[in-house]
A and B are shown apart, each in its own frame.
Chain A
């Protein structure tokens, strides 16, 4: 009965081929399932072939049945008479924002004019900012800064603060209630873990016993994300640096805090002009398929890239330094 049927792999289950094995990226359930490369071939090259034909091509009965049983158990698809009504999902990437995320670094020596910074970021339709404070800032000063986002284009503001006894929970919760834009407030160097979520506006307050530095560029399955945004951005752009800008402690404009190259200073430059220059945006287009080793890795559309810490500092297309995975042996070293 099912012999003449074809297998429909749901459009939200994306087969990705690696050097030694493949996987199915389940972008609706934020999950992934390893499959052998031969199954990848069946699901792509022979996508429209009936089960019968596939069995003939591979001269296998049981193994093919087992494959499809596995996929059905994982709810990745089902048998259909035809695939004509099931188009593939478009994996294009579109964004109306010149900048989607900005990082603003501040330490005690910073002389930021926040009104200027927020206005310039709004001018490039930035929708999310992350404010990283490296030194203590009094809560009342923080409130003044955040108040200046009132007229901005920002939908979310995330804030990192170094632990201080002044940042007691009740005061911080009150701060989150008063400032709806602030969705995530993280207090690092804290003595212990505390996580609370505000019911009213689902903002999060977190105390973590970590430091701020070196927290970037790590690669681990813990950080993998299997969703549509990640997939489409990774296929088309650099999934970390695309439409990102950093305003560093000294006001310099960079692609990210860990990059050395500077593109002028926010106090004196027109941000829109800077971030539309080819020299600034060239990293945005380095997608995983252009990066050596990563281009052979089955995780490439759910793995965060990093262009600041790379294995060969002379080759901007080299693999992220903090990745221990070897797709040619499938071992995490």
Chain B
């Protein structure tokens, strides 16, 4: 049986499940927030999970799909608790929660995972280092905490800065700040009066890009998409700053074999069999690797390219669940 660890309302999960159903394969879905509303018992001594009236024997499970399982801070329960509970307690609740999810994940340790939970916490800088090791080009990158270096670097090349970990959206007096990739210009440095010392930030050389490439990776297969966003200055740095009326052109793309090979190597090194990757094709003809998103939104690649990815993910899961899989479906 396939176990799906997901979140309520995740459409990609729903669609993949539709295909699993279509192929008549047994599966069980647990949503992270189920534990807030349903009766759960993780019975460690008897190797089973009891959810309401369902009894799930660990030994029946062969493959586990780990997808967006357990971002506590996105849940209503968490949002409400933030106001009611002191900060330190909240930190502890968060730790408990993480440990609980980890418990569930650990029980299935020996199973076939599509995205192993241990691999999802990536450090951008380590991934860049590994990318360089496998021979991918990466932009000049450093983590700095002082203005001197920035001033000096800016005289040499245009820069951008981004979050070291996850992009987030700090809210301050009703204004939303985004931590999306931004260009760091001399005027910006002056305007915001950047102090001599600040919290360490990731600074990268700005690559003059021809287009961006997003890759969905699953079990060594790559499905790529090119994003042309140059026409409009608003989207030049990060296509997530989306313009709705005139969406960027997003088209199917085929990376050169050599780049694909290096990406496979990189994914192997970071221990991921599924995820999405961002690259840039630069004006001078190079492919620059930027980052890996372990819980990549493949709907985003699927929609413009018609890659039939939901079915393909379903088939991969079914294959992992029963190693010997009828040829008919794979074709």
What A residues does B228 contact at CB under 8 A?
A: 10, 78
Interface string of A73-108 (1 = CB under 8 A from B): 001001000001111111110101100000000000
* Given A96-B21, A96-B311, A228-B303, also A87-B253 (CB < 8 A): yes
A109 within 8 A of B: no
Determine if B231 is an interface residue (Cβ-Cβ < 8 Å).
yes
Q: Give bound CA distance, A124 to B159, whole Å.
A: 55
Chain A min CB distance to B60 (Å): 24
Q: How distant is A16 from chain B, measured CB to nearest CB, in Å?
A: 17
- CA of A6 to CA of B304 in the docked complex: distance in angstroms? 23
Residues of B within 8 A of A88 (CB): 252
Residue of A nearest to B245 (CB): A29
Is B307's beta carbon under 8 Å from chain A?
yes
On whether the beta carbons of A85 and B256 are closer than 8 Å, the reply is: yes
Contacts of A228 in B (CB 8 A): 303-304, 306
Nearest Cβ distance between residue A282 and chain B, in whole angstroms? 22
Q: Is A117 an interface residue (CB 8 A)?
A: no
A contact residues around B253 at 8 Å (CB): 85-87
B79 contact set on A, CB distance < 8 A = none
Contact with A along B242-271 (1 / 0, CB 8 A): 000011011111111000000000000000
Report B-chain residues with C-beta under 8 Å of the C-beta of A84.
Answer: 254
- Give the distance to chain A from B235, nearest Cβ to Cβ, in Å: 13
Could you tell me the distance between the alpha carbons of A11 and B21 in the complex, rounded to whole angstroms? Answer: 31
Asked whether B311 lies within 8 Å of A94 as measured between CB atoms, the reply is yes
User: What 1/0 flags go to A6-50 for Cβ under 8 Å of B?
Assistant: 000011100000000000000011000000000000000000000
Q: How far is the CB of B107 from chain A (nearest CB, A)?
A: 30
Contacts of B254 in A (CB 8 A): 84-87
CB distance from A273 to the nearest CB of B (A): 17
A89 & B305 in contact (Cβ 8 Å cutoff): yes
Instruction: Provide the bound-state CA to CA distance between A322 and B248, in Å.
Output: 36
Interface assignment of B180: CB less than 8 Å from any CB of chain A = no
SS of B interface (majority): mixed
Q: Are A89 and B18 in contact (CB-based, < 8 A)?
A: no
- With a CB–CB cut-off of 8 A, which chain A residues contact B36? none
Contacts of B231 in A (CB 8 A): 75
Measured CB to CB, the nearest residue on chain B to A85 is B254
The residue that B306 contacts in the complex, of A29, A96, A232, with Cβ under 8 A, is A232
Q: Say yes or no: is A318 at the interface (Cβ < 8 Å to chain B).
A: no
Contact assessment for B226 and A86 in the assembled complex, using a CB-CB cutoff below 8 Å: yes
- The CA-CA distance from A86 to B226 in the complex, in Å, is 9
Given known contacts A96-B19, A96-B21, A125-B18, A28 and B250 CB-to-CB distance under 8 angstroms: yes
Report which of B19, B251, B255, B308 forms a contact with A12, defined as CB distance below 8 A.
B251
**Using a CB-CB cutoff of 8 Å, which residues 222-261 of chain A contact chain B?**
228, 232
Taking each of A11, A75, A125, which has the highest tally of chain B beta carbons within 10 Å of its own beta carbon?
A11
Report the Cα distance A11→B18, complex, angstroms.
28
Question: Measured between C-beta atoms, what is the minimum distance from A93 to chain B in Å?
Answer: 9
Q: Does B22 lie at the interface of the complex (its beta carbon under 8 Å from any beta carbon of A)? A: yes
Partner of A125, one of B21, B247, B311: B21
Nearest CB in chain A: distance from B310 CB, A: 8
Q: Using Cβ atoms and an 8 Å threshold, which residues of chain A touch B21?
A: 96, 125
The smallest beta-carbon distance between B208 and chain A, in angstroms, is: 16
Cα A306 to Cα B30 in complex, Å, equals: 43
Contact A89-B251, Cβ < 8 Å, known A12-B304, A228-B304, A228-B306: yes
- Find out whether the CB atom of A12 lies under 8 angstroms from the CB atom of B250: yes
Check A94/B251 contact, CB under 8 A, given A29-B246, A85-B256.
no
B251 → A minimal CB distance (Å)? 4
| Alpha-carbon distance between A88 and B306 when the two chains are bound, in angstroms | 10
Taken together as a complex, chains A and B put the C-alpha atoms of A190 and B253 apart, in Å, by 50
- Cβ contact within 8 Å between A125 and B22: yes
0/1 string, B308-328, CB within 8 A of A gives 1: 100100000000000000000
Q: Is the CB of A89 within 8 A of B22?
A: no
B242 to chain A: closest CB distance in Å?
Answer: 13
| Residues B251 and A11 in contact, CB atoms below 8 Å apart | yes
The answer to whether A90 and B308 touch across the interface, beta carbons within 8 angstroms, is yes
Please determine whether A89 and B19 come into contact, CB atoms closer than 8 angstroms: no
> A219: shortest Cβ distance to chain B, in Å?
26
Q: Please tell me if the beta carbons of B22 and A92 are within 8 angstroms of each other in the complex.
A: no
Residue of A nearest to B14 (CB): A155
Q: Which residue of A lies closest to B281 (CB)?
A: A85
| B305 neighbours in A (Cβ, 8 Å) | 11, 89-90
Q: Give CA–CA (A135, B254) in the complex, Å.
A: 56
Whether A91 and B251, one on each chain, are in contact in the complex, defined by CB atoms closer than 8 angstroms, is no
Q: Which of chain B's residues has its CB closest to A26's CB?
A: B249
Measured CB to CB, the closest approach of chain B to A327, in angstroms, equals 27
Residues 211-261 of B at the A interface (beta carbon under 8 Å)? 226, 228, 231, 246-247, 249-256
Given A96-B19, A96-B22, A125-B22, 8 more A-B residue pairs with CB atoms under 8 Å apart are A12-B249, A75-B249, A78-B228, A85-B255, A86-B251, A87-B252, A90-B305, A92-B308
A-B contact pairs, 30 of them (CB 8 A): A10-B251, A11-B251, A11-B252, A11-B304, A12-B250, A28-B247, A28-B304, A75-B231, A85-B254, A85-B255, A86-B253, A86-B254, A89-B251, A89-B305, A89-B306, A90-B252, A90-B305, A90-B306, A90-B307, A92-B306, A92-B308, A94-B308, A96-B21, A96-B311, A97-B18, A125-B18, A125-B21, A125-B22, A228-B303, A228-B306
Interface residues, chain A, with chain B CB atoms under 8 Å away: 10-12, 28-29, 75, 78, 84-92, 94, 96-97, 125, 228, 232
